[in-house]
Structure 1
Amino acid sequence: MEISVQMYSVREALAHDVQGTVGRLVELGLTHAEPYQLLEYRDELVRAREQFPIDFPSAHQSFLGDVDFPAVLEAAQAVGVQYLIDPFWNPADWTDAGKLRALAETLNQRAAAAAEAGIRVGYHNHHFELASRLEGRTALEVFAEELDPQVVLEVDTYWAAVGGADVPALLGALGDRVQLVHLKDGDLSQDASAQLPLGSGKMPLAETLRAASGVHYGVIEFDDYAGDMFEGIAASLTHLRQTA
């Protein structure tokens, strides 16, 4: 598993200085990062790839709704993205099997268009996709069954646990569909400010990492953190290196 970091974690620093922020991530020893709002940051990310020894193999960008998808694909190609991930969809739809299957069909259609550009698309969960039960399974598992084989999932392991999932079992059930995971820790509440560096919270991290051993990218993320964000990322990276 290659280690990356979700750049949403350092959004406050990015808002002031994209290149300086990328430089700080590189100084921590990171060679991969996962940008968000790909269309907004396209040009800065292209510049960062030219200046620093870092790449952006995955990125978050909403594309399942009303969006100029060719423009999204162009930005992804320019930045060097391999996995284009939609990070969020209406929680209410995850309680309705019909709407969920329609969403899966939309993602499958996007996947066909993205494949022509050499890009795989996917979806990233929060807690509600796991908290919702449909047909005796989690809504995320129902959704996954409807997806074309080329569509991937990026499982946010922390939010899956908050949603009530047995994360190692979930990763096993979803199998090769999961090409990326978000790695974070905390008290397993919905309070994002209670998140902590990896290894210092309640996540079953060792078991999760074993279950995710075949995943291509493990992405460190903090939705929020009470301490210094770069120190939190550094502590998480150190923990992963010690447990690898």
Structure 2
Amino acid sequence: MKRREFVQTASFAAVGLLSLPSFLAAGKSQKGMGLALYAVRESIMKDPKGVLQKVAGFGYKDLETFSYKDGQIFGMNFSDFCNHAKSLGMKVTSGHYGLAQITGDTWLKAVDDAKKNGQEFMVMPYLVEADRKSIDDYKKICAALNAAGEVCNKNGIRFQYHNHAFEFETLDGQIPFDVMLKELDPKKVGIELDLYWIIRGGHDPVKYFNAFPGRFEQWHIKDMSKDDNTKNSNVGDGSIDFKSLFAQAKKAGMKHWYVEYDTFPGDPIESVAASAKYLKTLH
């Protein structure tokens, strides 16, 4: 299933990092190793409990969800899902919510469910093309994100926006991502930075860390194939220098990180297992 199809119904997925010393320690103990469940999107829709058991066995601890809607997720009650994750030694720390979900009673319900289950972050992950045809469109969306973030703040949850590559394509003479960073109130909205997409968009994450320190509190870790930059490889097999990026994570403000895939070099479950195996070597 395509990402946009998930977004239209609710949401979807991601990865991130800590400062290098903390991350390496985490690599040894596996505390906080994160997985965006969008990476196992086909199988988790069919067998959520079975998939959670598998990824727990790989060493993942933090989970980021997608497809939440009206108290349900992956065919389960949201609280039941969160509790099952906890029974396996994992925790839902973040979730993705579509643009249509972040207003009114729908948003109040989602925020309340997140709060009840100890979720720390809520993320708006994607903008369909029709919603981003001009810089003014982006500014209007930023106003909506700020309002959604204010609701989250009142409930002790941090709201964020997740990037792709289109935010780095010049529009009306400006870079939309730069406009968003200026329009978004940092007290209300942070950034979940997808390292693959910012690099594919032709920009250096470290330059943004230096210009906007502390704004990038969650990261999506997905690697880029050395043969085709439109494809993902297993983490550690591709062209992205994660070690150099990890070293900048404290400046970025990193709190959680999640392995994620948009495309797969093989079976998705085997891919998330391979990425976990690589990350365990970083100690």
TM-score by length of 2: 0.77
Provide the identity percentage.
24
One-letter identity of the residue aligned with 2:88: F
Name the stretch that deviates more: 172-181 or 119-128. Answer: 172-181
CA-atom RMSD in angstroms:
2.2
After TM superposition, the structure 1 = structure 2 runs for residues 146-185 of structure 1, keeping only pairs within 5 Å, are: 146-150=183-187, 151-185=189-223
Q: Would the aligned equivalents of 1:6 and 1:34 in 2 still touch at CA under 8 Å?
A: yes
One-letter identity of the residue aligned with 1:234: A
2:265 to 223, 226, 229: 226
- What is residue 178 of structure 2 aligned with on the other side? 141
One-letter identity of the residue aligned with 1:20: G
- What is residue 53 of structure 1 aligned with on the other side? 89
- What is residue 9 of structure 1 aligned with on the other side? 39
2:136 to 92, 98, 104: 98
One-letter identity of the residue aligned with 1:165: H
When residues 104 and 64 of structure 1 are mapped into structure 2, their CA distance, relative to the original with a 3 A threshold, is farther
One-letter identity of the residue aligned with 1:207: S
Equivalent residues, number:
241
How far, CA to CA, are the matches of 1:232 and 1:50 in structure 2?
A: 23
- What is residue 86 of structure 1 aligned with on the other side? 124
After TM superposition, the structure 1 = structure 2 runs for residues 59-70 of structure 1, keeping only pairs within 5 Å, are: 59-63=95-99, 68-70=106-108
One-letter identity of the residue aligned with 1:14: I
Name the stretch that deviates more: 15-24 or 228-237. Answer: 228-237
Q: Which has the higher contact order (CA 8 A, sep 6+)?
A: 2
- What is residue 25 of structure 1 aligned with on the other side? 55
Alignment gaps of 5+ in structure 2 = 1-17, 19-31
How far, CA to CA, are the matches of 1:121 and 1:240 in structure 2?
A: 27
How far, CA to CA, are the matches of 1:157 and 1:92 in structure 2?
A: 24
Secondary structure of the corresponding residue to residue 145 of structure 2: helix
TM-score by length of 1: 0.89
When residues 237 and 171 of structure 1 are mapped into structure 2, their CA distance, relative to the original with a 3 A threshold, is farther
- What is residue 36 of structure 1 aligned with on the other side? 66
Alignment gaps of 5+ in structure 1 = none
How far, CA to CA, are the matches of 2:232 and 2:129 in structure 1?
A: 22
Secondary structure of the corresponding residue to residue 95 of structure 2: strand
How far, CA to CA, are the matches of 1:56 and 1:167 in structure 2?
A: 26
When residues 190 and 132 of structure 1 are mapped into structure 2, their CA distance, relative to the original with a 3 A threshold, is farther
How far, CA to CA, are the matches of 1:171 and 1:44 in structure 2?
A: 37
How far, CA to CA, are the matches of 1:71 and 1:184 in structure 2?
A: 31
Deviation of the 1:129 alpha carbon: 0.7
Name the stretch that deviates more: 17-26 or 204-213. Answer: 204-213
Name the stretch that deviates more: 7-16 or 67-76. Answer: 67-76
Q: Would the aligned equivalents of 2:234 and 2:265 in 1 still touch at CA under 8 Å?
A: no
One-letter identity of the residue aligned with 1:196: S
Q: Would the aligned equivalents of 1:4 and 1:218 in 2 still touch at CA under 8 Å?
A: yes
Q: Would the aligned equivalents of 2:68 and 2:97 in 1 still touch at CA under 8 Å?
A: yes
Q: Would the aligned equivalents of 1:125 and 1:159 in 2 still touch at CA under 8 Å?
A: yes
Q: Would the aligned equivalents of 2:222 and 2:235 in 1 still touch at CA under 8 Å?
A: yes
Deviation of the 1:235 alpha carbon: 2.2
